[in-house]
Amino acid sequence: MPGSLMAFITKKDRAKERFSLLLLDLEEHYFEQHTAYNLTDSSPEASRRTSGSLKICSKSVIFEADDAKEPILKIPLKDCEGISALEEPTHNPFIESKPACILIETKQIYLIKEDNAVAPYKYERGERKLTFQLEASSKTEDVVQMLLQLHRASCLDKLGDQTAMIAAILQSRLARTCFDKNGLQDVSERLHMECVAETVSPLVTNAGHVCITDRSLYFQPLNGYPDSVVQIELHSVRRIYKRRHGLRPLGLEVFCTEDDLRSDIYLKFYNTKERDELYYYIATFLENHVAEHTAESFMLQWQRGHISNYQYLLHLNNLADRSVNDLSQYPVFPWTISDYSSSQLDLLNPASFRDLSKPIGALNTERLERLLERYRDMPDPRFMYGSHYSSPGYVLFYLVRVAPEHMLCLQNGRFDHADRMFNSVGETWKNCLEGGTDFKELIPEFYGSDSSFLKNLLGLDLGRRQGGGRVEGVDLPPWASDPEDFLQKQRLALESPCVSEHLHEWIDLIFGYKQKGSEAVASQNVFHPLTYEGGVDCDSIEDPDQKIAMLTQILEFGQTPRQLFITPHPQRITPRFHSLSATVSLSSCELSPVSPSMDSFEDLTEESRRMSWSNMNKLVLQSCHKIHKEAVTGIAVTLSGDAIFSTSQDSTLKMFSKENGLQRSVSFSNMALSSCLMLPADEVVVCSSWDNNVYFYSVAYGRRQETLMGHDDAVSRVCWRDDRLYTASWDSTVKIWKCVAADVSGNKRSGFDPLAEFEHEAGVNSLDLSPAGTLMATGTKEGTLTVWDLTSPVPLNQLSCHTGRIHQLAFSPDSRHILSVGEDSCLAVTDVQTGMLIATVHAEQEQRCFCWDGNTVLSGGTSGDLSVWNLLSSRVTHTIPAAHSGAVTCVWMNDQCSSIITGGLDKQISLWKHQY
């Protein structure tokens, strides 16, 4: 769970500072500050003057008095009627005039933080003259000229012209300055690149110079605020992400922690090229010690229960460009509870939960019908909802009690009307269900541990409601005893079995295939086109005013996350998970968790397997034997482990005795044998051949017992389950054969009758059966993986998961996933339920064969290395280099995973054991 601080509130203690960039207007820039005196209220009789600092901004002048009781003065430049320099008069003719002052004549002044209290801004309207004297009088004329230039910009008729002129002034100032090398930590650092950019934090940006060296990333603000330089050492970086800002690919966010929501710096560049160059430089530096995670790799971890629902949603938000530094793309979380009136919350009752398969706007059927009626009558581009489920206003609606200055910044110095504040959780939920324009979801704080956003700990005057009561803390549901209890129950609800079983449906709406297109229409999930990535190209808009209006709408209205999945998201594997939808006919025995009633022997076997896989990094070579003349293609072992059978491209089946080292050889044809397996009871070895046949070798009699002429091309793989033989062939078919016993009269020999045939578009190179034997997976020479229900000739799922031949594939022990390796050097994990490719791991070399337990993989590569992979982190955890002097072509493992044998292109079989 997250820490105790709101995600985007700065952790650094700046309690003594009254000025912040939040006092500026949205999109306003802070250029420089000067020590100054406010002489406005002084007189010849009373030489009172107020010391402080004068801050020059692109749309205003701000004076912050040193005395915290005095209000901060903000003078909008557009309201100024005159700005000039003047000599401060003296009443003694023998004394020279004092240094020049700045005279500002204005129609309006904002009074902010009087008595250092965060409150709505006060206004003084009417003709006013303010006089400021700079401590460095030599700069007075320069400051006046700067203010006159900015004043001209603020008085332009068109907003687009104002913005363009201010941007030109900013770029000119940036061009006249450069990164100060005195800010480098070490003079020996080698510079890689310098450029200009802006830091991004909620509602504000700050321009400056970026510099990256071989050791650190630096940012120097143009105004020196809040620090003269920000340094991030490259070796401390843990994550780095490209971001879109205002729907444009200009952002870059850097994290030095694994779990913190708040990044160490968020930069917005002025062009994509510089952003990408900096990204690739840092990413190259990181690639040796930081693993790159994808949505698919996090999905695999979540599905198998290694990360919580909360953690998974945070990862998805992060990967979809949601950042706590960008309120228009703040992380979005779902409403999960629908019961806000009961005295007790029943988390075992499905009725207590919101329907996660529908967007907020579709939960109320009466309201939805009205919205759909409007949608049907609307001209293109049509949309169902006039507001979004996440926007800066919604985020601050929830967080106003802990981020009041952000709300004042967003709403021009005002809080919202007291009755429209976040006053009650139940009322807010009711409005989201019934309101005509309210479709907002929640934010991560509702599932965190910091309850301060539900309390008025700052003593803010947020107004009085119509009933007369003051707005204080948030009213909670009857089932919550206090804010801490409310958040605890929220967390329990999010991680509950009911939510876990349906969260993938909400992910489909927000991050997945129901986000756009026809699926979004069918799911009543269509928002305004401007909220979608690619919905508008701002750079193609020529009219400056129209462009500014468009960017403002994008930033303030809310943005749909970047789409992460284009196929249905798999369901989570939970203890209560017993069945899937009828569209996927998986048997309950494959989906149900292990029964607690299993006997102790099987429990011990499972414990043995877990121990063996946890020690896969400690494999040592026991012995190796060169027993073939060509590459080894298959390995089969007796139950006792004493006799090892292997097939080879040299067309022979070899038997090797571990006890005495004796070998026996048999040749069935003059063509290569492609695989072998041992039938139950250790009586028969089945071998497949490139001559289109399958051969049956009797162990007891030491000779061929049967030949099955079943295909029109090479037989590539064979499997056996419950007296049925499964054969895969390069003739693009898989066939199932039923073993037929000889009759008593002896008129009919034992043999095999065909039961079913499965057609493919290309030669089948790999085959595996699910542990329960109800599903089959096949892989072709063209990289297509197909999942079959063995009761039907129609595929359950089919996808191209490799760009070349699939060497091998195998179900996970729980039948949830299929792992495949191919010519494209990828390890691909496919979800059985949805047919979705949920993880792709790129290996440095082609992997030819493997064994796995659902999380850990032992694979053999073309160079002869054996590699142990952790699929959840997408990393190699251990390598045995040169386990074979050529490609590892096959790997065998016993049921307890304690004995491992590999075969290779070097014609050898190698026996391995765990070193405990």
pLDDT digit string, tens, across residues 622-634 = 999 999 999 999 9
Distance separating alpha carbons of residues 37 and 22, to the nearest angstrom: 23
292-329 residue pLDDT tens = 678 888 898 899 888 999 999 999 999 999 999 999 99
108 and 191 part of one domain: no
Helices 159-176 and 544-557: crossing angle, nearest 10°?
90
The rounded distance, in Å, linking the Cα atoms of 392 and 781 is 51
> Burial letters for 407-432: b for 16+ Cβ neighbours within 10 Å, e otherwise?
bbbbeebebbebeebbbebeebbebb
Beta pairing partners, 811: 818
Specify the CATH number for the domain of residue 191: 2.30.29.30
DSSP 173-201: HHHH----GGG-S-TTPPEEEEEEEEEEE
- pLDDT above 80 (res 599): no
619 plus 731 within the same structural domain: yes
In a domain, 63, yes or no: yes
Last residue of a domain, one of 159, 174, 189: 174
Which residue range(s) make up the domain with 444? 313-557
Is residue 155 in a domain?
yes
* CA–CA distance, 859 with 875 (Å, rounded to integer): 13
Mean pLDDT in residue range 637-656: 94
Q: Which residues contact 5 (CB under 8 A, 6 or more apart)?
A: 11, 450
361 and 507 housed in the same domain: yes
Instruction: Tell me: pLDDT of 588 over 50.
Output: no
> Over the stretch 358-392, which tens digit does the pLDDT of each residue have?
999 999 999 999 999 999 999 988 999 989 999 99
List beta partners, residue 706: 696
Cβ-based neighbours of 692, under 8 Å, separated by 6 or more: 709, 710, 711, 712, 713, 714, 715, 729, 731
* Inter-CA distances, 706 with 637, 653, 718, 730, Å: 20, 15, 15, 22
Is 582 inside any structural domain? no
Give me the pLDDT at residue 914, please: 87
In a domain? residue 225: yes
Backbone angles phi and psi of 452, in degrees to 5: -65, -25
CA separation for the pair 363, 122 (Å, rounded): 42
Do 618 and 858 form a contact (C-beta atoms < 8 A)? no
**In sequence order, which residues have a C-beta less than 8 Å from that of residue 99 and are 6 or more positions away?**
88, 133, 134, 137, 140
Report d(CA 320, CA 509) in Å as an integer. 13
Q: What is the pLDDT of residue 577?
A: 35
Residues 465 and 503 in one domain: yes
pLDDT of residue 585: 32
Q: Give residue for tokens 């090229």.
A: 273
Domains held by the chain: number: 4
Cβ-contact 299, 512 below 8 angstroms: no
Q: Are residues 780 and 811 in the same domain?
A: yes
Contact 212, 218 (CB under 8 A): yes
Residue indicated by tokens 């890689």: 192
**Residue 100 domain-assigned (yes or no):** yes
Lowest mean pLDDT among 166-175, 191-200, 281-290: 281-290
Exposed, middle or buried by CB within 10 Å (0-12, 13-18, 19+), for 263?
buried
What pLDDT digit, counting tens, does each position of 553-575 carry? 777 788 999 999 998 999 998 65
Beta strand 632-637 with 619-626 is unpaired
Note if the bond before 381 is cis, omega within 30 degrees. yes
**Structure confidence by residue, pLDDT tens digits, 840-854:** 899 999 999 999 999
Its pTM stands at: 0.81
Contact 189, 215 (CB under 8 A): yes
CA 702 vs CA 447, 645, 657, 699, 911: distances in Å: 67, 12, 14, 5, 24
Tell me the C-alpha to C-alpha distance, in Å, between residue 864 and each of 619, 859, 910. 15, 10, 12
Last residue of a domain, one of 174, 203, 226: 174
The CATH number linked to 426 is 1.10.1540.10
What mean pLDDT do residues 95-116 have? Answer: 86
Distance in angstroms (rounded) separating the CA atoms of residues 415 and 118: 11
Check if the beta carbon of residue 261 is closer than 8 Å to that of residue 210. no
Distance CA 783, CA 718 (A): 19
Q: Identify the residue whose tokens are 């390069």.
A: 730
User: What digits encode the pLDDT tens for the residues 73-94?
Assistant: 999 999 999 999 987 555 555 5
Q: How many CB atoms lie within 10 A of CB 97?
A: 10
My answer on whether 507 and 419 are in the same domain is yes
Same domain, 788 and 759: yes
Q: Is the pLDDT of residue 138 over 60?
A: yes
| pLDDT > 70? residue 684 | yes
Query: Domain check: are 230 and 356 in the same one?
Result: no
DSSP letter at 584?
S
pLDDT band at 7 (very low <50, low <70, confident <90, very high): low
pLDDT given at position 90: 52
563, part of any domain = no
Taking 70 as the threshold, does the pLDDT of residue 212 lie above it? yes
Tokens of 120: 């709505």
What are the tens digits of pLDDT across the range 832-888?
988 888 888 999 999 999 999 998 999 999 999 999 999 888 889 999 999 999 999
429 & 522 share domain: yes
Structure tokens at 116: 């250092």
Q: Are residues 400 and 337 in the same domain?
A: yes
**In angstroms, what CA-CA distances link 339 with 359, 490, 629, 679?**
17, 12, 72, 57
Burial class (CB in 10 A: 0-12, 13-18, 19+), 117: middle
Q: Is the predicted pLDDT of residue 473 greater than 60, yes or no?
A: yes
Shared domain for 677 and 691, answered yes or no, is yes
**Which of 292, 326, 347 is the endpoint of a domain?**
292
State both tokens at 472.
């204080």
Are 772 and 843 found together in one domain? yes
Dmax over Cα atoms in the chain, in whole Å? 141
Task: With cut-offs at 50, 70 and 90, classify the pLDDT of residue 467.
Answer: confident
Of 334, 355, 337, 369, which Cα lies nearest the Cα of 510?
334
